[in-house]
Amino acid sequence: ALREAGIARFVVDEAHCVSLWGLSFRPDYLFIRRVLEHLGHPPVLALTATATPDTRGEIVAQLGEMDLVAASVFRSNLHFSVVKVPNAEAKTVALLEQCHAIDGPVLVYARSRERCEELAHLLRRRGIKAGHYHAQVEDRGRAQEAFMNGEVRVLVATVAFGMGVDKADIRAIIHYNLPQSVEAYYQEAGRAGRDGKPSRCVLLYTSGDKAQLTSWLRQDTLTRDDLRLVYRALRSRSANGYALAAADELGRDLPELDETRLRVALGMLERAELLIRHFDLPRRLRVMLLEGDIEERLEQFVVTAGLRPRVASEIDPLDLANALGQQPYQLEANLLRWSAQGYIRLESGPRELLLELLPPPADAAARIEQMLWEYATRQDARIDAMVGYATGLSCRHQALAAHFGERLAACGVACDVCAGDRSASRGAGRVATAPRRPNGPPVSEAEAVGIALRTLRDLPFNVGRTGLTRILSGSVESAIGPDRCDGWGKLQSWTKTATGRLIDRLVDDGLVERNGRGEYPVLELTPAGRALLDDDE
């Protein structure tokens, strides 16, 4: 239909999605080259804002030779800075400072859904109108609207927020966690200041962020077993060498794989020549034979399908193509032609992936191992590049431009490095946080047991393991301060890990129990725990 309509120009938006090794890879983009062949190679315009030199090479390899027109990545109204802090607690304090100091809307990116909710709750407790957004928010439209119309000044979100969202007056983008890549960081940070007014792009960074990001990404790294799972799932739904698969159905059949890993797995299997993707095909077709003379090939189809004039029949295109000795995509092409010529009336349902499963080549295992190695290697390189940006001592704008293959002079004033005062990037004022107790002498384990039990007994509300740990540690994220809780901060001389282990031992020893009522388990004293406190007092 597109070929008959006559395509004057073919435009590919987000062209970086063609890269198998990129975080935004989409298998559909690998199919564009075949579409261009069917359309007679019309002129192509490929657009992207986040293509490195390597990605540009992959775009050319997939879409054909092109003339490069590259605009500068430099935006003079954006001030880039990195706030280096010693630990997660200090990072949270820095976030509070930033959100208090910056006037106007602020978008905070955090990695996990739980962290988004925790940070938004903390900001609200500190007097900031904040909301959260992630893929599991029940009414995402309402959460987005609240930020867009100003009901919420600070939105804490996962990367699920942003695509297709155009809020021009965002005054700051703050990354609480290290982004997956420099490309992802630049794209997300670029959502600030689209109205041209001065805006900030702040990255909060601790030395432990690299290990956390590496661990998180390793959990999502594809393995040979993952590829086997996908291939077997396709085999199980194949007939005569072809499989029809809706992406969402395939995802439900493979809960072990998220959407990104499933996309990459399909791309790898195709590159390893274990399958070929053809034009999408409906699972069912509804055909009615109209009256009149018909050509010989249509007559064969009518007989095989058992069609009668003016009677609609539902057919399975895979089964019928096999019976006719045709490829499924050839059958549909014939049906569309006959429909256009007025021989039949054709109705089709939703289209699904049409995959032809191939006999494994002799070197299939070696090909897959090579691709998995390259995938992991590129992932490590992305992490190193992101850490290099965070720890670098050169102009931030210059570093970002170099990553995208652009030579840029130092900005002079639009980043923390060039401005010369890194502390200035933390904002004009400090948030009024709860006073911290001096560490004082070390607290013994016996003393810590009594402190933890008394604190849990005297709290005016229930808390879980994390909540009690924060209170005993005097954390900025604790749900109560020293004015209402005598135990606040009394275990500051302990690490949070040690305090958490102490709470676990109290549970194991039968002094505290976890009550599972409600959404999250809370801690309660047992009779044995109360008796121990009574004996001490």
Alpha-helical (H) ranges within 152-258 are 182-189, 209-219, 224-236, 247-253
Give the relative orientation of helices 182-189 and 364-391 as an angle to the nearest 10 degrees.
Answer: 50
CATH class of 78-208+393-426: alpha beta
Report which residue type is found at 485: C
The model's confidence at residue 256, banded by pLDDT at 50, 70 and 90, is confident
Q: Measure Cα distances from 415 to 349, 363, 380, 426, 488 in Å.
A: 53, 50, 26, 12, 38
So what's the pLDDT on residue 441? Answer: 67
- The strand ranges marked E within 158-224 are 172-175, 199-205
- 453: how many CB neighbours lie within 10 A of its CB? 20
Beta strands in 340-400 (DSSP E): 344-348, 351-357
pLDDT (0 to 100) of residue 506: 92
Q: How do beta strands 106-109 and 172-175 pair?
A: parallel
Residue with more model confidence, 121 or 442: 121
- Point out the least confidently predicted range of 16-30, 232-246, 392-406: 16-30
pLDDT in tens, 38-61: 888 899 999 998 889 999 999 999
Instruction: Tell me: pLDDT of 235 over 80.
Output: yes
Question: Is pLDDT of 250 > 90?
Answer: no
Q: Is 274 left (phi over 0), alpha (psi -120 to 50) or beta?
A: alpha
Do 101 and 429 meet the contact criterion of CB atoms below 8 Å apart? yes
Q: What is the mean pLDDT of residues 181-201?
A: 95
* Statement: residue 27 has pLDDT above 90: no
Question: Distance (Å, rounded) from C-alpha 373 to C-alpha 35?
Answer: 30
CA distance linking residue 255 with residue 262, whole number of Å: 10
Locate 314 and state its tokens. 């539902």
pLDDT at 518 over 80: no
Instruction: Indicate whether 301 pLDDT > 60.
Output: yes
pLDDT over 70 (residue 406): yes
pLDDT category, 117, cuts 50, 70, 90? very high
Least trusted range by pLDDT, from 184-193, 278-287, 383-392, 476-485: 476-485
User: In this model, does residue 424 exceed pLDDT 60?
Assistant: no
d(CA 513, CA 465): 11
Interior/surface letters 199-228, b for 16+ CB within 10 angstroms, e for the rest: bbbbbbbbeebbeebeeebeeeebeeebbe
Higher pLDDT, 28 or 175: 175
Mean pLDDT of 172-200: 95
Question: What does the alpha-carbon distance between residue 286 and residue 330 come to, in Å, rounded to a whole number?
Answer: 17
Distance from chain centroid for Cα 458: 41
pLDDT over threshold 90, residue 124:
yes
Kind and range of the H or E run holding 512: strand 512-515
| DSSP one-letter code for 136 | T
Q: Does residue 437 carry a pLDDT above 60? A: no
Q: Residue 516: what are its φ and ψ, rounded to 5°?
A: -85, 5
Give the H or E element holding residue 390: helix 364-391
Asked if the model's pLDDT at residue 208 lies above 70, the reply is: yes
How many Cβ atoms are within 10 Å of 49's Cβ, its own excluded?
14
Query: Would you say 275 and 227 are in contact if contact means Cβ atoms under 8 Å apart?
Result: no
Strand-pair category, 154-157 with 130-133: parallel
- Arithmetic mean of pLDDT, 115-130: 94
Domain ranges for the chain: 2-63, 78-208+393-426, 284-349, 445-536
CA distance 224 to 258: 16
State the pairing for strand pair 172-175/44-46: unpaired
39 by Cβ neighbours in 10 Å (0-12 / 13-18 / 19+) ranks as middle
Indicate the CATH number of 445-536 among 3.30.56.10, 3.90.1150.10, 3.90.245.10, 1.10.10.10: 1.10.10.10
- pLDDT at res. 21: 77
Residue-level pLDDT at 430: 34
Q: Are 270 and 30 in contact (CB under 8 A)?
A: yes
Q: How far apart are CA 178 and CA 110, in angstroms?
A: 9
Name the region of 176 (left: φ>0; alpha: ψ -120 to 50; beta: rest): alpha
User: Which range among 5-9, 198-202, 266-270, 345-349 shows the weakest confidence by mean pLDDT?
Assistant: 5-9
Q: With cut-offs at 50, 70 and 90, classify the pLDDT of residue 426.
A: very low
Of residues 426 and 509, the one with the higher pLDDT is: 509
> Above pLDDT 90, what percent of the chain?
51
Chain-centroid distance, C-alpha 25: 12
Coil, helix or strand at residue 351? strand
- Report the residue count for the chain: 537
Which has the higher per-residue pLDDT, 130 or 340? 130
pLDDT at site 434: 40
pLDDT band at 218 (very low <50, low <70, confident <90, very high): confident
Residue whose token pair is 């190193």: 384
Average pLDDT taken over every residue of the chain: 88
